[in-house]
Amino acid sequence: MRWLVARRGFWARLGAIIVKEVLQLGRDRLTFAMMFGMPIMQLLLFGYAIDTDPHRLPTAVIAADQSQITRTVLSALANTGYMSFTHRPVSEEEANALLQRGEVQFVVTIPSDFTRRLVRGERAQILIDADATDPMAAANPLAAAGPAINQALARDFVGPLAGLRDRPDAVELVVQRRYNPEGKSRLNIVPGLLAVILTMTMVMMTALAVTRERERGTMENLLAMPVRPIEVMIGKIVPYIAIGSVQVIVILLVSWLLFDVVIEGSIPLLSAGTALFITVNLAIGFTISTLTQNQLQAMQASFFMMLPSILLSGFMFPFRGMPVWAQWLGEALPATHFMRIVRGVMLKGADLGDVSAPLVALVAMLLIVSTLAISRYKVTLD
């Protein structure tokens, strides 16, 4: 009997599952249409509709000039409530790196001759570099900064400096909006949508793929055949990785054509990050399907996953605008880390080093979730 069975193991069975899944996907026309219609609809919907106003944004300060007046300027900025001085880099390079990695929203630079020029009545400048990838997060702080500084200084202009009081523009604020000089919010929304759409479709599709087998009674038949959990899992996931990739291409093309969003950084890096994110989501979907009994439950569980991914990942509201507990929840979501990768690579031109932290976080999530999925998937009906 044994000689009748060709000695092709893993690959043949894996191939069998992949072929079967692709055929079934092709048969489910409605789902297929939804997977491509939904991203475009959401893109158009969300692309035009989001607004926010976060406070206490991390800010790096390079104060080359230490005086009573610079202290007044900095405390005026802090008192707007929009900035929180978290870093004191020693060089411009260090400050730029902080901005690039997204660790700070602003870099405030006070030149060494600031006080001297101000006292002399010359033109005194303060430079603010803003990470404008999320223009909503940057707009209000920048608008509030100039008036706040001049008002605070007016109180300090006593005695010999009283003459400066009548000059409302004694301090000139130079603002550089980095990465998104025109402050277009769609530039920020589009990468975020990538994360949200992938989470929504990928998690749900796989969650349903396994529960469907259970609900239709085909699981028992599948389990009675010599196919291993890992083969079922990978076999079910692979076709959706392909679908996810097509979704990404569709989103990026539409974004480019309609919103002029171009990719600043490396496309291979973006692709790798995206593939990783898709895989994490599929593994989560698979885990959900091992934890739920039917398709309805799987659907609900997927929504549980999706809502926070929309609300807490930094997509809907600037991440730093959220309370700390919400930020911690957000850190546990793959979408949050993917959002950082996409915004970094697409808008800031970040390189591998800049996005290594979120990449590592995604890999860790993948390992944890896959382990859970495989341990939950049973070869028996027990």
Partner 1 sequence: MTPTPAALAPPTLAIDVHDLVKRYGPRTVVDHFSLAVERGRICGFLGPNGSGKTTTLRMICGLLTPDGGSGTCLGHDLVRHRERIKRETGYMTQKFGLYEDLTIRENLEFVGRVYGLDRLKQRVDQSLDRLGLTTRQSQLAGALSGGWKQRLSLAACVLHEPRLLLLDEPTAGVDPKARRAFWDEIHSYAAQGITVLVSTHYMDEAERCHEIAYIAYGELMARGAALDIIRHSGLSAFVATGPGADRLAIRLRDAPGVTAAAAFGATLHVCGPDREALMRAIEPFGNDPAIVWQEAEPTLEDIFIHLMGTARDNAPGA
Q: Does 347 participate in binding partner 1 (rule CB under 8 A)?
A: no
State which of residues 221, 294, 371, 375 lies at the interface with partner 1 (CB under 8 A): 221
Burial call 346-359: b when 16+ CB within 10 Å, e when fewer? bbbebeeebbeebb
Tokens encoding 185 = 């919010």
Amino acid identity of 19? Answer: V
DSSP-assigned letters across all residues of 245-293: HHHHHHHHHHHHHHH-----S-HHHHHHHHHHHHHHHHHHHHHHHHH-S
Stretch that binds partner 1, among 158-166, 212-220, 236-244, 354-362 (CB under 8 A): 212-220
Q: Does 58 participate in binding partner 1 (rule CB under 8 A)?
A: no
Q: Does 87 participate in binding partner 1 (rule CB under 8 A)?
A: no
Q: Does 44 participate in binding partner 1 (rule CB under 8 A)?
A: no
For partner 1, which is the closer residue by CB, 91 or 380? 380
Tokens encoding 29 = 């026309």
For partner 1, which is the closer residue by CB, 34 or 352? 34
State which of residues 66, 79, 112, 218 lies at the interface with partner 1 (CB under 8 A): 218
DSSP-assigned letters across all residues of 19-67: HHHHHHHHH-HHHHHHHHHHHHHHHHHHHT-------SEEEEEEES--S
State which of residues 30, 90, 162, 225 lies at the interface with partner 1 (CB under 8 A): 225
Q: Is 216 exposed, middle or buried (0-12, 13-18, 19+ CB in 10 A)?
A: exposed
Q: Does 224 participate in binding partner 1 (rule CB under 8 A)?
A: yes
Q: Does 19 participate in binding partner 1 (rule CB under 8 A)?
A: yes
CA distance 189 to 187: 6
Tokens encoding 382 = 């027990």
State which of residues 30, 158, 324, 381 lies at the interface with partner 1 (CB under 8 A): 381
Q: Does 220 participate in binding partner 1 (rule CB under 8 A)?
A: yes
CA distance 349 to 342: 10
Min CB(361)–partner 1 separation in Å: 36
State which of residues 16, 154, 175, 374 lies at the interface with partner 1 (CB under 8 A): 16
- Number of residues binding to partner 1, judged by CB under 8 A: 33
State which of residues 159, 160, 217, 323 lies at the interface with partner 1 (CB under 8 A): 217
For partner 1, which is the closer residue by CB, 105 or 206? 206
Q: Does 13 participate in binding partner 1 (rule CB under 8 A)?
A: yes
Min CB(232)–partner 1 separation in Å: 10
20 to 39: interface string for partner 1, x by CB under 8 A: x--xx--xx-----------
Residue pair 350/100 in contact by the 8 Å Cβ criterion: yes
For partner 1, which is the closer residue by CB, 12 or 367? 12
CA distance 105 to 92: 15
Q: 321-328 long-range CB contacts below 8 Å, 24 or more apart?
A: 321/52, 321/53, 321/54, 321/55, 321/137, 322/54
State which of residues 121, 147, 226, 353 lies at the interface with partner 1 (CB under 8 A): 226
CA distance 60 to 369: 36
**Site residues, partner 1 (CB under 8 A):** 1, 4-9, 12-13, 15-17, 19-20, 23-24, 27-28, 216-218, 220-227, 379-382
